[in-house]
Amino acid sequence: MSSAHSPQQNHLLAALPAADFEPLAAHLELAPLRLGEMLYEPGGQMTHAYFPTTAIVSLHYVMESGASAESAGVGNEGVVGISLFMGGDTTPSSAVVQTAGHAYRLKSRVLKQEFNRGGLLQRILLRYTQALMTQMFQTAACTRHHSVEQQLCRWLLLTLDRVSSRELVMTQELVASMLGVRREGITEAAGRLQAAGLISYRRGHISVVDRTGLEARSCECYAVVRKELKRLLSEVQYRQDLPVAVDRPARPSTPAGPPPGRAAQRPAIAGK
Find the CATH number of the domain harbouring 158: 1.10.10.10
Q: Is 227 within the bounds of a domain?
A: no
Q: Is 228 within the bounds of a domain?
A: no
User: Is the distance from CB of 163 to CB of 117 less than 8 angstroms?
Assistant: no
What predicted TM-score, i.e. pTM, was given to this entire model?
Answer: 0.82
Report how far residue 202's alpha carbon sits from residue 101's, in angstroms, rounded to the nearest whole number. 22
> Same domain, yes or no, for 133 and 202?
no
Return the sign of the alpha-carbon dihedral for residues 170, 179, 158, 102. Answer: negative
> Same domain, yes or no, for 65 and 4?
yes
> Same domain, yes or no, for 30 and 126?
yes
Number of domains in the chain: 2
How many helices (H) and strands (E) in the chain? 9, 11
> Same domain, yes or no, for 82 and 152?
no
- To the nearest 10°, the Cα dihedral for 100, 103, 107, 112? -120
Burial class (CB in 10 A: 0-12, 13-18, 19+), 161: middle
Find the CATH number of the domain harbouring 16: 2.60.120.10
> Same domain, yes or no, for 116 and 242?
yes
Q: Is 159 within the bounds of a domain?
A: yes
Per the structure, the complete domain to which residue 261 belongs is given by: 1-145+234-267
pLDDT tens, position by position, for the chain (272 residues)? 444 899 999 999 999 999 999 999 999 999 999 998 999 998 889 999 999 999 999 999 888 787 788 999 999 999 999 999 998 888 888 999 999 999 999 999 999 999 999 989 999 999 999 999 999 999 999 989 999 999 999 999 999 999 888 888 888 888 888 888 999 999 999 999 999 999 998 888 899 999 999 999 999 999 999 999 888 887 555 444 444 444 555 555 444 444 444 443 433 333 33
- Beta strand 29-33 with 248-249 is parallel
Q: Which of 91, 16, 82 is nearest to 49 (CA)?
A: 82
Q: Is 24 within the bounds of a domain?
A: yes
Cβ-based neighbours of 118, under 8 Å, separated by 6 or more: none
Q: Is 78 within the bounds of a domain?
A: yes
Work out the number of other CB atoms within 10 angstroms of the CB of residue 171. 19
User: Is the distance from CB of 185 to CB of 193 less than 8 angstroms?
Assistant: no
> Same domain, yes or no, for 47 and 171?
no
> Same domain, yes or no, for 141 and 163?
no
* Edge-to-edge strand list for the sheet holding 56-62: 38-40, 93-99, 56-62, 68-74
Helices (H), 39-147: 108-115, 119-145
